[in-house]
DNA sequence: GAAGCCCGCTTGGTTAGTCAAGTGCACCAA
DNA sequence: TTGGTGCACTTGACTAACCAAGCGGGCTTC
């Protein structure tokens, strides 16, 4: 029995063309060999060549122009692999890996903003986990997770032990759903009294507040993660194509 | 001569399947008709059917499982059409459409942060356009655009007349490049003396500052748009898939 | 009754060929 | 010289057919 894995032909062609573009053999702005030429060189049928070129176009390596040919753009500047989005990172972070201190874990009444995000009545019961994250021994971030009590009760989410996996796993198994996307809300505000004390900032400090609402494929919200960052210590970065 | 446009067959199939999913004819979680069935019903060859289904999978309408079939997920919760990203919106906004007042337009020395974003030496010459945007008669946002002087000089960017098209058009034609993507930096800070006066906020107010760096396909930066928003008036929203 | 094989279903990948539509150049005629 | 025609080359869309691989149920065999 053989367990070798040979990638499909079109994938091999993709790899080879990416290599040639990276190496400068096909410089940016130049015309790529035509479908016919590639068919001859690689011994593939036209649909196979076209499929590979279609993937390269979708990923931004090349642009095509009917009647003229395909032009090299170069390696796409925005890597398609996971950009570090704040909300996604919060959802998959474990409490043990970050230098963090658990401040609270248990049932509370949902604040208005959180109830609205979760689609609950005001003052509904939710489970809150609050964490103080330190960097270089200094408090640098407060992170809070809200889950509807109907989902969280009876699970590790409501207990004081550090979570050993990311929030997402717990919510997905407790609710029996697969979290699909995140809706992020970002705003700036002054600290509450508690935040002022925990973060050691002035009353007038400008804080960055990020609310990440994680929803399933139907758009139903299941968990809200809030993180509060002093603006003078943090900056969020994000990259996206213009069109 | 006829100028009718008939969309390709695979696109017609996509439209029809989306309609059936939306209408509930193919409920979420159900098994889609097999490729063979669709071939028979719509009178298309298999690659045509497969191409349509591939698009639907990429857009999140369905998931496929080799050996079992394709399962309906429902209309994707995140619409693929242009999400209103702050930076993109700033770049295409015209100065005439927003109720705005031009505060400055002309050459200045680049502040450190802007020079860094543009990849210029400190205190390089740049052209600055600063605008105060009002909503309901109240000042609500300060927007500033920074373009290297080598690009902007001699163009409408350095003049006091309102720009009649978005910043992007001007920069693209002045620099002879096509802007490809945006790198966005978000932070929170207290207002400068000027911002305090213009926005009518307190010294201790928390402002949201967004820096959008627009780059061409090679990653070279061409323009920075900064927008400053009082945190108590504004909230940025963004949606993205988890994986 | 249980284990294992086989077959029919599904999707994934590939081929060879057709026709249509857009682009640019060479050639020819006025 | 100028204008138009036609051809060669490009990508876009589509077809019919084939084999491979994953899944599951039914049948056979022990």
Nearest chain B alpha carbon to A191:
B206
- On chain B, the residues whose CB falls within 8 A of the CB of A186 are 186, 208, 235-238
Strand B221-230 and strand A138-148: pairing? unpaired
How high is the pLDDT of residue A241? 87
Q: What is the pLDDT of residues B211-234, one digit of tens each?
A: 999 998 888 999 999 999 999 999
Residue of A nearest to B178 (CA): A242
Distance A26 CA to C12 C1' (A): 30
Residue B60 touches chain A, beta carbons under 8 Å: yes
Distance in Å, alpha carbon of A186 to nearest chain B alpha carbon: 5
Chain A residues with CB-CB distance to B236 below 8 A: 184-187
Beta bridge partners of B220: none
**Residue A50: CA atoms inside 13 Å, Cβ hemisphere, count?**
7
Q: What is the pLDDT of residues B170-194, one digit of tens each?
A: 999 888 888 999 999 999 999 999 9
- Tell me the chain B residues in contact with residue A238 when contact means C-beta distances shorter than 8 Å: 183-184, 186, 238
Pick from B40, B58, B57, B42: nearest CA to B10: B42
Residue A60 CB closer than 7 angstroms to strand D? no
Protein CA at A40 to nucleotide C1' at D8, angstroms? 18
Do A243 and B185 lie within an 8 Å CB cutoff?
Answer: no
Which residues neighbour B62 within 8 Å (Cβ) at sequence distance 6 or greater? B32, B53, B56, B70, B71, B72, B73
Instruction: Kindly give the confidence (pLDDT) of every residue in chain A, 243 residues in length, as a single tens digit, with 9 standing for 90 and above.
Output: 444 577 889 999 999 999 999 999 999 989 999 999 999 899 999 999 999 999 999 999 999 999 899 999 999 887 665 567 888 899 998 877 778 888 988 899 999 999 999 999 999 999 999 999 988 888 999 999 999 999 988 888 887 777 888 899 899 988 888 898 999 999 999 999 999 999 999 999 999 999 999 998 888 999 999 999 999 999 999 988 887
Structural domains of chain B in order of their starting residue, each with its CATH number: 9-72 (1.10.10.10), 86-230 (3.40.1410.10)
Burial zone of A84 (CB within 10 Å; 0-12 exposed, 13-18 middle, 19+ buried): exposed
d(CA B30, CA B212): 43
pLDDT tens for residues B150-164?
A: 998 888 888 877 788
Is B184 within 8 Å of B86 (Cβ atoms)? yes
């Amino acid at each position: 029995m053989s367990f070798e894995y040979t990638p499909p032909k079109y994938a091999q062609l993709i790899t080879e063309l990416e290599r040639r573009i990276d190496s400068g053999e096909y410089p940016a702005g130049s015309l790529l060999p035509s479908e016919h030429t590639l068919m001859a060189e690689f011994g593939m049928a036209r649909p196979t060549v076209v499929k590979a070129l279609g993937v390269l176009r979708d990923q931004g390596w090349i642009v095509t122009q009917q009647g003229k040919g395909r032009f090299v753009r170069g390696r796409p500047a925005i890597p398609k692999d996971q950009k570090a989005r704040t909300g996604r990172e919060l959802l998959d972070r474990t409490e043990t890996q970050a230098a963090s201190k658990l401040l609270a874990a248990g049932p509370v009444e949902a604040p208005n903003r959180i109830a609205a995000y979760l689609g609950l009545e005001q003052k509904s019961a939710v489970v809150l986990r609050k964490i103080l994250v330190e960097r270089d021994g200094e408090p640098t971030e407060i992170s809070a997770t809200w889950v509807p009590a109907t989902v969280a009760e009876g699970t590790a989410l409501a207990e004081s032990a550090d979570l050993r996996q990311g929030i997402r796993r717990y919510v997905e198994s407790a609710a029996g759903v697969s979290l699909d996307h995140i809706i992020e809300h970002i705003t700036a505000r002054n600290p509450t009294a508690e935040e002022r004390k925990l973060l050691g900032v002035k009353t007038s400090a400008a804080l960055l507040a990020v609310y990440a609402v994680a929803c399933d494929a139907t758009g139903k919200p299941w968990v809200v993660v809030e993180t509060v960052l002093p603006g003078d210590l943090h900056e969020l970065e994000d990259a996206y194509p213009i069109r």
